[in-house]
Amino acid sequence: MPYLLGLLYDDHRVIEEHGPLEAWQARRWLAGHSGAADLVVADLPWPYQQLLSNRGFLASPAWVDQKLVLPGQWDAVFECLRSSARGEDLRKIRRHGLTYRIVRDEQAIRRFYSDMYVPHVTKRFGDSAYVEPEWKIQYCAATGALMEILKEGEIVAGQVLFADRDSLQFLWAGTSGGELGAHSKGVFPALFYYGILYAFERGYRSVDYCGSRPLLSDGILQLKRRWGGAVHDGWSRDTLFFRPTRLNPGTRGFLARCPLIVRSGRDLVGKVFHGDEAISAAEVERAGQLYATGGLRAVRLYSLQAPGADAWAAARTTPGIELVDLSAEPAPETTYCAT
């Protein structure tokens, strides 16, 4: 819930809080208490997500998985990456002279946990951070591998790699500065590049970047997309439900700021809300550049103003992008959730 509240508000206070609620009571509770809300949000574990599925809510996996399938030739692997990764990111790695090594000794793993992983996670995610227990990281790194990134012989970052059949998982990462400071320039591109190289050289068929939040604008999701990560539904056993009951300024602001990845039948789609202004051709093209991602059936752009002919034309020629005109809908918030 701290994560969800952080999406909604920079600052907030709870004016009413109810006691413990069992998951199986969720549908009845929401029916009795959500009438005055502008936006209803719920987080349900499996299998209780069935209580709200197909009942007018947007359903997002609490986490989406991102994977890169590795072709048999190294040159073909490069073709799976975004041009920014092949160009800008690799230049950073070379410019900062970053190299890597693989270690498995207990002292190195403890150093990674206390000096890199914990500071990075807590600084980046604040109150919504979940810090894995040390024994878990110790086991996975000792069984798999700990990759350390070096600059002039100094350890500046690390990540835990763990094999799952023919896939190599990138489980946890951290930097010596805890965050993206001057000491850690280029280290995240290095973690991705050398992790992919390590997997390819050892014959793995894919790399699994593991969980990302279900937001097209999320920085971690975008970084994994940059390195070829296609989106999959299968990493999370929790489902987040959203239902706007009225499109007032606050709700429109949330939907515009948080382009969600949601379930649509067996597929995933992206929902980008543009609100009051008509969508332009340039915005359609920009959505294709920023959001179109492997694993998504479509990225849908929603507007309360009828798109012009140029926007419709751009949508027809921009792969993965669809337009939805809400201007003539009597209940646009319902249509937004249903399509």
Cα–Cα distances (Å) from 18 to 21, 193, 281, in that order, read 8, 48, 47
Angle, alpha carbons 93-98-102 (nearest 5°):
125
Angle, alpha carbons 113-119-122 (nearest 5°):
115
Query: What pLDDT band is residue 77 in, cutting at 50, 70 and 90?
Result: very high
The answer to whether residue 185 scores a pLDDT higher than 90 is no
Closest CA to 301 of 250, 260, 263: 260
CA distance 190 to 195: 8
Q: What is the pLDDT of residues 236-266, one digit of tens each?
A: 889 999 999 999 998 999 999 999 999 998 9
Structure tokens at 214: 């279900």
Query: What pLDDT band is residue 181 in, cutting at 50, 70 and 90?
Result: very low
Q: Say which residues have a Cβ less than 8 Å from residue 303's Cβ, sequence separation at least 6.
A: 274, 275, 277, 278, 279, 323, 324, 325, 326, 327
Cβ atoms < 10 Å from Cβ of 116: 25
Question: 15-29, 83-97, 145-159, 172-186: which range is least confident on average?
Answer: 172-186
CA distance 65 to 21: 29
Provide the residue type at 160 as one letter. Answer: V
Residue with tokens 């649509």: 264
The answer to whether residue 182 scores a pLDDT higher than 60 is no
Q: Are 186 and 93 in contact (CB under 8 A)?
A: yes
CATH of domain 65-213+222-231: 3.40.630.30
Q: What is the pLDDT of residues 280-328, one digit of tens each?
A: 999 999 999 999 999 999 999 999 999 999 999 999 999 999 999 999 9
The answer to whether residue 16 scores a pLDDT higher than 90 is no
The domain segmentation of the chain, as residue ranges, is 2-62+236-338, 65-213+222-231
Q: Strand pairing of 260-264 and 64-69?
A: unpaired
Q: Say which residues have a Cβ less than 8 Å from residue 190's Cβ, sequence separation at least 6.
A: 92, 93, 98, 100, 149, 157
Closest CA to 66 of 244, 271, 215, 276: 215
Helix 281-290 vs helix 309-317: crossing angle, to nearest 10: 30
